[in-house]
Amino acid sequence: MAHHVVIVGAGFGGLEAARRLDDGDGEVKVTLVDRQNYHLFQPLLYQVATAGLSPGDIASPIRSLVAMHHDVEVRMGDVTAVDLAKKQVVVDGSPVAYDSLILAAGVRHSYFGKPQWEGDAPGLKTLDDALEIRRRVLLAFEHAEREDDPARRAAWLTFVVVGGGPTGVELAGAISELARFTVAKDFRRFDPRTAKVVLVEANARVLSAFDTGLSGKARASLERLHVDVRLQTRVLDVTGEGVTLPDGFLPARTVLWAAGVEAPPLARTLGVELDRSGRVKVDADLSIPGHPEAYVIGDLACFTLPDGSTLPGLAPVAVQQGRHVATTIHAQLSGRPRQPFEYVDKGIMATVGRASGIAQSGPLRLSGMLGWLAWLFIHILFLIGFRNRVLVLFQWAWAWFTYGRSARLITGTTPVPPPGMTGATPSKPAEPVTR
Amino acid sequence: MAHHVVIVGAGFGGLEAARRLDDGDGEVKVTLVDRQNYHLFQPLLYQVATAGLSPGDIASPIRSLVAMHHDVEVRMGDVTAVDLAKKQVVVDGSPVAYDSLILAAGVRHSYFGKPQWEGDAPGLKTLDDALEIRRRVLLAFEHAEREDDPARRAAWLTFVVVGGGPTGVELAGAISELARFTVAKDFRRFDPRTAKVVLVEANARVLSAFDTGLSGKARASLERLHVDVRLQTRVLDVTGEGVTLPDGFLPARTVLWAAGVEAPPLARTLGVELDRSGRVKVDADLSIPGHPEAYVIGDLACFTLPDGSTLPGLAPVAVQQGRHVATTIHAQLSGRPRQPFEYVDKGIMATVGRASGIAQSGPLRLSGMLGWLAWLFIHILFLIGFRNRVLVLFQWAWAWFTYGRSARLITGTTPVPPPGMTGATPSKPAEPVTR
């Protein structure tokens, strides 16, 4: 009887674990469960949200990615609970038993106790989130074209991004470029270059995971792109009309949230110790304390380093953890001892707009064009699947020379609500129109 | 005061008219109204529905396409009525006056008086239709993987396409290839090559616009792809469980509709003579009888030839009509007489699967690989925008060698309903799940 490993989540960590576990000798049988049928290259999600890439460019069907791993079975479904005592997970209401469990379910965005802000300030974690943000950003320009009142038009042309981490910085830079270059000639009644992008960050600097010098350079790059960077600023309220900041109300019809993450409710069903944002505290070998057969990896894991800090939610962390757990399970089946997990930090990087980025790796510091090229190289290198890599490179080369953003499609629930609606019920989504 | 032309619809005809009307001297001002923000290359829509292309590959933002035409203003909105007497259209509830009107609103699919079939047998006219069909086709395989009962699994693996015109033939061929090649190795509990694609056509042959020889070759190509072609067969009923044909009930969880078209309700607001499918009967110069300033072009126009037949709903017809009306309006403004419209028929073509097609132009007849290459060449040539052209060519080259279909993403309303639901409420869409 093969050792049955259930993996929850086919992100970077889950996928790596699944591939490493399948050794072809049938000793291990893997069930890889995900809510979606695709693996998502999350670091480029902001490109979909800002119409630079299409969903198909950054997502690959999970089944294709493990098609050659015959001991891996993919199941599309929603895991709603874990019973550590009975060693089973609940997938769409049905129990599935496991011998080993790898929880790699990721995190979602968090509104710091203000879940009511979500409707007016969507976050960016899934492909559907990205398409919704793209829809809102593109529709804002359409509304501006129809609006005659200057103040109301200005509100449609103000984009507030909350959170100055990599996602917030990338979104703010890309929206500013979209307005100033891509759609600059598309409208007749206003100049899209008058659009205002405001990046709000509670800390004293953006990209605080980087050292002070690089983070200052990123801020300068943002300001060159005409992004209004507001540091040490907290958002006090969000409505469909705008945001309230300490210095007053800022009218803005498009607010995007990139300010924090929290664990999904699934983590609470474990009944074990969680950290403040709901992540699961794990032992040195990534297992849940007291449950050596259940592991948590990736963004959902709270892994504490000797200095008391915890590992950040980055793709390389997830991949290395996925690999480590696969090794641990193989070791256990061969009667070898477990090893503690050690993260090999190869560095971090972020991009600001179309030709500027920062990268830091050991003593190395890159910024500007060089930082951007490093970012581009690494991201293309790790983009899943050869075809996507070539396609994305081509689209970027094209976009770089033309400032074009080809995926400027408003899809999903329908278009512009009638003029009467725009002022009246701002925070209610438009009714889908039957076509 | 410039002559104000309102164009309803930015399809092939509307877009061509807008571009031709803008002569740069400010004599004419054009308002181009469309419900969507993009122009759609409809002949390739079936490729999006079968996961071969991404939406962005076959759609371009309308504003970009006319950005250099400064006398053209784009308005995203829904035209719900036309008042020919007052010379105005109603856009999202507000009247817009015109001097000349060009109606190019297209048609939608028709269920021959059975609108209740639409939920269980979606048609393919819009990008959102294509994404819905893609979702259903891909989810059917996911359901089959979860289903243990052989009869119920077979129903998930049976795809019925109603209508043997170009769209139906293209869909049937592409779905069969998807099952037999692309996802052949993706599932563990069944062999996707056992999937059954049934093409139902009421006439005695498929692609009846072509001559008998070519249409027979297309049928042979379909059968080589294991498509079960049922000619002279009418669909008597459609439910979420399958279709009723004259010889009995065929269990099939995925039914697609490609069988007929009808004009949108907008046409009825004109109060003029319509043909059986609601298209507007036009004069020799494409104007509405009695309203020389109002023209109808493209699929919505019923243009009668001297032999009593009417022009088919094809892109070249729409483009030539758009050009003709632009010329007529310019002539009228310069005091020159109107000319009747004459269609220059350059031929028709269709494709069946990845390397077979048929084309007929004057005395020329092409089929097989040669027909497919002709089809490919013409479609790439006319695909709007250089970038899309290169991208699509690349994706096809890639897909041709690998049988891959890269856009296999299930997006939109969520995934697989819990197992209990699949048998119980087949025709009700799954509830969106909060994530």
For A191-242, the pLDDT digits (tens) are: 999 999 999 999 999 999 999 999 999 999 999 999 999 999 999 999 999 9
| Sequence-distant (≥ 6) Cβ neighbours of residue B61 within 8 angstroms | A186, A408, A409, B37, B38, B39
pLDDT for position A385: 64
Q: How does residue A23 score in pLDDT terms, banded at 50, 70 and 90?
A: confident
Q: Choose from B65, B135, B409 for mutation: most chain A CBs within 10 A.
A: B409
Q: Which two tokens stand for residue A165?
A: 């981490």
Are the CB atoms for A83 and A91 separated by under 8 Å? no
Among partner residues B127, B145, B409, which is closest to A55 by beta-carbon distance?
B409
Six-digit token string for A20: 């490493």
Tokens of A97: 């038993």
Tokens of A318: 């997830």
CA dist A132 to A46, A137, B412, Å?
12, 9, 10
Mapping DSSP onto H, E and C, the string for chain B reads CCEEEEEECCCHHHHHHHHHHCCCCCCEEEEEEECCCEEECHHHHHHHHCCCCCHHHCEEEHHHHCCCCCCEEEEECCEEEEECCCCEEEECCEEEECCEEEECCCCEECCCCCHHHCCCCCECCCHHHHHHHHHHHHHHHHHHHHCCCHHHHHHHCEEEEECCCHHHHHHHHHHHHHHHHHCCCCCCCCCHHHCEEEEECCCCCCCCCCCHHHHHHHHHHHHHCCEEEECCCCCCEEECCEEEECCEEEECCEEEECCCEECCHHHHHHCCCECCCCCEECCCCCEECCEEEEEECHHHEECECCCCCECCCCHHHHHHHHHHHHHHHHHHHCCCCCCCCCCCCCCEEEECCCCCEEEEECCEEEEHHHHHHHHHHHHHHHCCCHHHHHHHHHHHHHHHHHCCCCCCCCCCCCCCCCHHHHHHCCCCCCCCCCC
The CA dihedral of A68, A72, A73, A77, to the nearest 10 degrees, is -110
* Closest among A104, A66, A20, A65 to A323, alpha carbons compared: A20
SS3 A28: strand
CA angle A330, A41, A339 (to 5 degrees): 25
pLDDT at position A427? 34
pLDDT at res. B374: 87
With pLDDT > 70 as the criterion, what percentage of chain A qualifies? 89
| Closest CB from B128, B145, B435 relative to A126 | B435
Q: Which pLDDT score, from 0 to 100, does residue B404 have?
A: 60
Q: Which of B22, B186, B388 best probes binding to A when mutated, by most A CB atoms within 10 angstroms?
A: B186
DSSP per residue, A50-66: TTSS-GGGSEEEHHHHT
User: What is the predicted pLDDT for the residue at A190?
Assistant: 95
Residue type, A243: V
When comparing pLDDT for B209 and B405, which is higher? B209
Q: Which residues make Cβ contacts (< 8 Å) with residue B67, sequence separation at least 6?
A: A185, A186
What residues of chain B lie within 8 A of the CB of A387, using their CB? 398, 402, 404, 406
- Active-site entry in A16, A132, A170, A241: A170
Q: What is the pLDDT of residue B416?
A: 42
* Paired sense of beta strands A59-61 and A38-40, if any: antiparallel
B64 → chain A, closest CA residue = A186
Residue A170 among the catalytic residues: yes
Backbone phi, psi, residue A103, to 5°: -90, 115
pLDDT band at A424 (very low <50, low <70, confident <90, very high): very low
Among candidate residues B263, B262, B243, the one with its CA nearest the CA of residue B252: B243
Q: What is the pLDDT of residue B406?
A: 63
- Is the pLDDT at B417 greater than 50, yes or no? no
- Compute the distance between CA of residue A391 and CA of residue A134 in angstroms, rounded to an integer: 20
Other Cβ atoms closer than 10 A to B344: 7
Report how far residue A183's alpha carbon sits from residue B66's, in angstroms, rounded to the nearest whole number: 12
Q: Is the pLDDT of residue A428 over 90?
A: no
Q: Which residues pair with A228 in a beta bridge?
A: A198
Q: What is the pLDDT of residue B25?
A: 81
The stretches of A334-385 forming alpha helices (DSSP H) are 368-382
Is 80 exceeded by the pLDDT of residue A412? no
Q: Which residues of B touch A409 (CB under 8 A)?
A: 37-38, 55-56, 59, 61, 127
Q: Could B93 and A419 be called an inter-chain contact, meaning their C-beta atoms sit closer than 8 Å?
A: yes
| Confidence tier at A378 by pLDDT (50, 70, 90) | confident
pLDDT score at B421: 37
For A72-127, write each residue's pLDDT tens digit.
999 999 999 999 999 999 999 999 999 999 999 999 989 988 999 999 999 999 99
Within a 10 A sphere around the Cβ of A369, how many other Cβ atoms?
11
Give the closest of A61, A185, A409 to B67, CB-based. A185
**pLDDT for the residue B405:** 66
How many C-alpha atoms does B157 have within 13 Å on its Cβ side?
Answer: 24
Q: In what order do the strands lie in the sheet with A242-245?
A: A237-239, A242-245, A248-251
Of A77, A185, A188, the CB nearest to B73: A188
8 Å CB contact of A75 and B395? no
pLDDT tens for each residue of A380-402: 777 766 566 766 777 666 666 66
Record the pTM. Answer: 0.88
| CA distance from start to end of chain B | 54
Distance from CA of B133 to the nearest CA of A (A): 14
Contacts of A57 in chain B (CB under 8 A): 54
The pLDDT of A307-323, averaged and rounded, is: 95
What pLDDT shows up at residue B290? Answer: 96
In the block, tokens 């070519």 appear at B214
- What is the H or E stretch that residue A316 is in? helix A315-333
ipTM of model: 0.85
Model confidence pLDDT, tens digit, residues B144-191: 999 999 999 999 999 999 999 999 999 999 999 999 988 988 999 999
A92 phi/psi in degrees, rounded to 5: 45, 45
Q: Strand, helix or coil at A404?
A: coil
Q: What is the mean pLDDT of residues B198-218?
A: 96
Which neighbouring-strand residues pair with B253?
none
pLDDT surpassing 80 at residue B360: yes
Contact A419, B93 (CB under 8 A): yes
Q: Are A343 and A313 in contact (CB under 8 A)?
A: no
- Identify the closest residue of chain B to A145 by CA–CA distance: B75
Predicted confidence at residue A380, as pLDDT, reads 79
> Of how many residues is chain B composed?
435
The answer to whether the CB atoms of B394 and A398 lie below 8 A apart is no
Nearest CA in chain A to B74: A187
Other C-beta atoms closer than 10 Å to the C-beta of A40 total 25
Distance CA B184, CA B22 (A): 51
For residue A424, list chain B residues with Cβ-Cβ distance below 8 A: none
A237-287 confidence digits (pLDDT tens) = 999 999 999 999 999 999 999 998 899 999 999 999 999 999 999 999 999
pLDDT in tens, A146-172: 999 999 999 999 999 999 999 999 999
Nearest to A411 among B55, B75, B414 (CB): B55
Interface contact flag, A409 B56, Cβ < 8 Å: yes
Supply the pLDDT for residue A150. Answer: 96
Give backbone dihedrals phi and psi of B182, rounded to 5 degrees, phi first.
-60, -50
Q: Is B239 left (phi over 0), alpha (psi -120 to 50) or beta?
A: beta
- pLDDT tens column, B274-318: 999 999 999 999 999 999 999 999 999 999 999 999 999 999 999
**How many Å apart are CA A53 and CA A393, to the nearest integer?**
10
Distance of CA A225 to the CA centre of its chain: 23
Which contiguous run of DSSP H or E holds residue A82? strand A79-83
pLDDT for A410:
78
Quote the CA–CA distance of A37 and A32 in Å, as a whole number: 11
Whether the CB-CB separation of B119 and B129 falls below 8 Å is answered with no
Question: Is the pLDDT assigned to residue A407 strictly greater than 80?
Answer: no
- For residue range A352-373, list pLDDT tens digits in order: 887 789 999 989 999 998 888 8
* Mean pLDDT within A397-408: 66
**Alpha-helix residue ranges (DSSP H) falling in A126-240:** 127-146, 150-156, 166-177, 212-224
Catalytic (active-site) positions of B: 170
Q: Which residues does residue B197 pair with via DSSP β-bridges, in sequence order?
A: B159, B227
User: Which residue has better confidence, B264 or B380?
Assistant: B264
- Is residue A258 within 8 A of residue A162, CB to CB? The reply is yes
Measured in angstroms, the CA of A211 and the nearest CA of chain B are apart by 34
Over residues A43-50, mean pLDDT = 92
For B124, other C-beta atoms within 10 Å of its C-beta total: 24
Mean pLDDT rounded to a whole number for chain B: 89
In this prediction, residue B422 has a pLDDT band, given cuts at 50, 70 and 90, of: very low
How close A130 comes to chain B (CA, Å)? 11
Residue B418 has pLDDT above 60, yes or no: no
Inter-chain CB proximity B54 and A56 less than 8 Å: yes
Vertex A205 angle, CA A141 and A263, to 5° = 75
Tell me how far apart the alpha carbons of residues A349 and A29 are, in angstroms, rounded to a whole number. 36
Q: Is the pLDDT of residue B425 over 60?
A: no
pLDDT at A137 > cutoff 80: yes
Residue A330 has a pLDDT of 96
Range name among A370-384, B83-97, B342-356 with the lowest pLDDT average: A370-384
Instruction: Looking at the complex, report in whole angstroms how far the Cα of residue A6 sits from the nearest Cα belonging to chain B.
Output: 16
pLDDT-derived band at B52, boundaries 50, 70, 90: confident
Instruction: Give the rounded percent of residues in chain B with a pLDDT score beyond 90.
Output: 73
| Token duo for residue B108 | 């939608």
The two tokens of residue A78 are: 């929603």
Structure confidence at residue A355 (pLDDT): 79
Q: Measured between CA atoms, how close is B321 to chain A, in angstroms?
A: 25
